[in-house]
Structure 1
Amino acid sequence: MPVRVPGLFTLVLHTHLPWLAHHGRWPVGEEWLYQSWAASYLPLLRVLRTLAAEGRQSVVSLGLTPVVTAQLDDPYCLDGMQHWLANWQLRALEATTLRNQEALRDFGSREHAEAGRALEEFDTLWRHGAGPLVRQLIDAGTVELLGGPLAHPFQPLLPPRLREFALGEGLADARQRFAHTPTGIWAPECAYAPGMEQGYAAAGVGHFMVDGPSLHGDTALGRPVGDSGVVAFGRDLKVSYRVWSPKSGYPGHPAYRDFHTYDHTTGLKPARVTGRNVPSEEKAPYDPQRADAAVDRHVADFVDVVRRRLISESERIGRPAHVVAAFDTELFGHWWYEGPVWLERVLRALPAAGVQLGTLRDATAAGFVGTPVQLPPSSWGSGKDWQVWNGEQVSDLVQLNVEVVDTALAAVDKALEQSATPGAPSPRDFVADQILRETLLTVSSDWPFMVSKDSAADYARYRAHLHAHATREIAGALASGRRDAAQRLAQGWNRADGLFGALDARRLPRP
């Protein structure tokens, strides 16, 4: 039996995509959703269901943003996903018929089997969306659910009223979908501004994630923020970066499937990385056995890294330490094809090697909490500050957001005031609801991130301005006394942006 190492290890996964339904297909749009669903969400849920069936508990703290779960439960998206999986199967079948391309035919056979498995699993288990599947994992104690605010806004740049509303509605959305209200959140972009912990405490949030530098690199224990009692857990970069960093990590190994190299006939990805500077046309064919051996080596390496880190950090602080490794869920499968297999093996190998697994909630309950701390303004973006979301490159979006939010709040306040009846409950206001829905989509942190990183920047700016236009159009009709026109406009925009059906403008804090 391996010697048990001191302390606790927590794996945190952050699952998020912006609202993509009804907003383009290729190269950016719904295709992004379906690729991530097929490559990451399906296999991740398969892994977690397998571990749950074995009675394993407290395996992972799983962050699911309201905007991604809205899509994974949406009938339109479920239908689109089924069509996408069937198309994947057909493309793989086509690859098996190509002449004079033996390697691609063999690859197509494997892809055809994998697509068939995914399609059968989707039809059998996902008929009613992700909600029931995730709830089973929460009920089994296999995962801790981490929530977040609606539409993933960069919270430090929001006025307090909208920040409070987005968080409260996001937690309510999770409660409605999963019959569980998260007590922990993955703050969008790990973004923090002084004072936000008070809002968390008021919303019933007891712990949240920040990046390691926010705690000055000392992530060995969670830290209460000020006198709030709300605990900030920091990502251990020495461990997390072993898997994936801006410059290196396991997915770049020559044996793994190359994400960027396509067969343009079938749209499949039949090559392996081969080498860092090898051009796509010279990439070697993918070899599953070679990749599988690399997975085992990287599992062993990661287990060794975690063991050594727990031992060294425990010695440094003079008590059992807590190590948190945190990643975007989409890394596992979408960006790194072998990621889900690595994940399942590492979650078995760590306990077998004497490492105790636990969630962030477990860490709090077990006392892996240090002395209070004051956190600086921070994020997990470049520079660990706010520059990705409020830098010069996105100053136009920052100004757009300020103007749209001011317009929206004024319009909603007026709408609710008009509909109020003294001595009686105010009725639900569909127009006010849609104004807030479009506003939250406008201020999604995804748009400035994509611009700053030059990743589909034109699409990101288009989306931000589209939702800003919707907000202004509805609010303008309302402000000019054309309530019927505002109602028609709200209904029209709702056909594309009808997510968060329980969003209720009446819960917006009053000015």
Structure 2
Amino acid sequence: MNGPSPNKNYLGRLAIVLHAHLPYVRKNEKNSLEEDWLFQAILECYIPLLKVMESSKKQDACNTKLTLSLSPTLLSLLKNKQIQKKFSSWIKTRIEFLSDLPHEEQAASEFLMRNIKNNYLYWEECNGDLVERFKNLFITGNLDILTCAATHGYLPILRENPETVLGQIKTAIRNHELIFGARPLGIWLPECAYYENLDEILCNCGIRYAVLDGHGILNGSPRPRYGVYAPICSKKGVAFFGRDSESTLPVWSSREGFPGDPVYREYHKDLGWELSSTELQKKGITTSRPLGLKFYRITNNEASLGKKEFYKEDEAIKKIEEHSDQYLLSRSKQLKNLSLSSSFDPLLIAPFDAELFGHWWYEGPRFIENILRKSIKYSIKLTNLKEILLNKPNIQICDPSPSSWGQGGYHNYWLNDKNAWIVPKITKAGSVFVELSSRNFNDAFSIRLLKQAARELLLSESSDWSFILRAGTTTELAKERIDRHLFRFWKLIDMLEKRSIVDFKFIEDIEEEDNIFPEIRIEDWQL
């Protein structure tokens, strides 16, 4: 790295990197659980983060810098007009639930009602087009927007057919360029997972930088001189930034970090679990599920859900101020120690799932707001990944190590006895598709079938389903999703090769439901 400037008025730099992603959860049915995931994330996470960024930018554009990955599946959902229309009725149903509460609970949930209405007002002001708001922040340079693999496929599992990795990356790049008008230079590798020579595929696709877990940097070859406190560059020409565990643990850990504080909102006590099936069905919800309506506080980690106390917003606001100061003071001390021991400009990379801020940790967006507002006070310069590389630092040449940001830095969370059965299924489908994509199909109908088969293959490769199977939550849904997309894939392939059994109704139905990536190209699966 370049040495520090003699006129530098900060101790070092902090780059907060947020990864916003949801699997493609569009479903042709009313009040689906999958769409609940999206709508809760919009209400609790994406809108609050946008509001924080836009408000902070007005006050201090220079120090309002973040890096944000928007996965192609999430972008497709956010841009979908049908989903945008559904969101309004979803919000109104939640408002009705809160309005029907008994007096005491209604008073306790007043903060929630107010915030829901304010966020919905924001939604209406931008006509439901959140992506355009993100794009504006990208244009001004406040946001560095990264892409991700097309459907968040776990790339090390797909490596047996390198063309399937290529299909994930190229489809993502084309989708990003279509939406933002510029090809992405950076990528969030799904689960920060890396394997040997992946950088060559990334470089050939025009990707110039990515985020890895600390293991991927610290076990690099040769071992990086500055550890995770400076980027490295592979021999193929891709820069990699490593996660700093000291900068992330206080934020993401509910046990050892801030989110577990007793005054913060309790995530698990949701009104949806409290209401009877009759009360839910009156609003068109057929099964018990979380509604995204939570107005109790953690109280203490030992308290059962039945003994949680009502949430007090003023106490939570006071505590988030304390925690943001505590976080910045710790980063300031960390950067000061790094500056004393080395002749370089230290950099802290703090990557998180974006949904942590607001959805899992309700106070999270306010925490980000405080970091943006207070960092200068602690002599910390906020930056984003693109800005770092635009300053043309001298970067050490190192090849990163295979790794992920799963426990221990390994791949076992996405490849174990609960989900390994997926691998031969998607590998076989990938092999067949790669072979078919290399044939010279010239007729429009064959190309139509191949394009939809490519979508179904991509959707079956999503790492979300492996994660859910390992975690043990909604496992039936995950199995159903994998089986659904692979069934559709094989039926399309069968129709391609046996024209006598063409089912046009089937084709039209899945084209309407799985209408992701309109710009998909079969040649993207060709090395």
Shared fold (TM-score greater than 0.5)?
yes
The residue correspondences of 1:184-263 to structure 2 (distance < 5 A) are: 184-216=186-218, 218-225=227-234, 227-245=235-253, 247-263=255-271
Please say if residues 5 and 354 of structure 1, whose CA atoms lie closer than 8 Å, have aligned partners that are also in contact.
yes
Gaps of 5+ in 2: 1-7, 220-226, 280-290
Quick one: distance in 2 between partners of 1:60 and 1:43?
15
Shift of 1:277: 1.3
Quick one: distance in 2 between partners of 1:447 and 1:148?
17
- Aligned to 2:420, the other structure's residue is in SS state helix
Please say if residues 412 and 435 of structure 1, whose CA atoms lie closer than 8 Å, have aligned partners that are also in contact.
no
Q: With a CA cutoff of 8 Å and minimum separation of 6, indicate the structure with the bigger relative contact order.
A: 2
Quick one: distance in 1 between partners of 2:89 and 2:175?
27
TM norm structure 1: 0.92
Aligned match of 2:155 = 155
Aligned match of 1:333 = 358
Larger mean Cα displacement after TM superposition, 432-441 or 460-469: 460-469
Shift of 1:24: 6.7
Aligned match of 1:485 = 502
Closer, same or farther: CA 79–300 of 1 in aligned 2, 3 Å: same
Q: Is it true that 1:500 corresponds to 2:517 in the alignment?
A: yes
- Aligned to 2:182, the other structure's residue is in SS state coil
- Aligned to 1:356, the other structure's residue is in SS state strand
Aligned match of 1:433 = 451
State the 4+ residue runs in structure 1 displaced beyond 4 angstroms. Answer: 23-27
Shift of 1:152: 0.9
The residue correspondences of 1:9-24 to structure 2 (distance < 5 A) are: 9-22=14-27
Match of 1:389 among 406, 414, 417: 414
Closer, same or farther: CA 476–271 of 1 in aligned 2, 3 Å: same
Q: Residues 286-338 of structure 1: CA distance to partner in whole angstroms, max 9, x if unpaired?
A: 11111111101101011111111212223333311110111100000000111
Match of 1:466 among 478, 484, 504: 484
Tell me the C-alpha RMSD between the 2 structures: 2.1
| Amino acid corresponding to residue 244 of structure 1 in structure 2 | W
Shift of 1:373: 1.6
Quick one: distance in 1 between partners of 2:377 and 2:359?
28
Aligned match of 2:100 = 94
Match of 2:435 among 391, 410, 422: 410
Q: Is it true that 1:450 corresponds to 2:468 in the alignment?
A: yes
Aligned match of 2:116 = 115
Quick one: distance in 2 between partners of 1:485 and 1:452?
37
TM norm structure 2: 0.89
**Total equivalences in the alignment:** 493
Please say if residues 111 and 313 of structure 2, whose CA atoms lie closer than 8 Å, have aligned partners that are also in contact.
no
Gaps of 5+ in 1: 421-425
Please say if residues 434 and 526 of structure 2, whose CA atoms lie closer than 8 Å, have aligned partners that are also in contact.
no
| Amino acid corresponding to residue 57 of structure 2 in structure 1 | A
Percent identity reads 23
Quick one: distance in 2 between partners of 1:428 and 1:61?
40
Aligned match of 1:423 = none
| Amino acid corresponding to residue 231 of structure 1 in structure 2 | A
Quick one: distance in 2 between partners of 1:407 and 1:248?
47
Quick one: distance in 1 between partners of 2:70 and 2:176?
9
- Aligned to 1:465, the other structure's residue is in SS state helix
- Aligned to 1:114, the other structure's residue is in SS state helix
Please say if residues 5 and 310 of structure 1, whose CA atoms lie closer than 8 Å, have aligned partners that are also in contact.
no
- Aligned to 2:350, the other structure's residue is in SS state strand
Closer, same or farther: CA 289–353 of 1 in aligned 2, 3 Å: same
Q: Residues 429-450 of structure 1: CA distance to partner in whole angstroms, max 9, x if unpaired?
A: 2211100000000010111111
Quick one: distance in 1 between partners of 2:259 and 2:410?
26
Please say if residues 14 and 326 of structure 1, whose CA atoms lie closer than 8 Å, have aligned partners that are also in contact.
yes
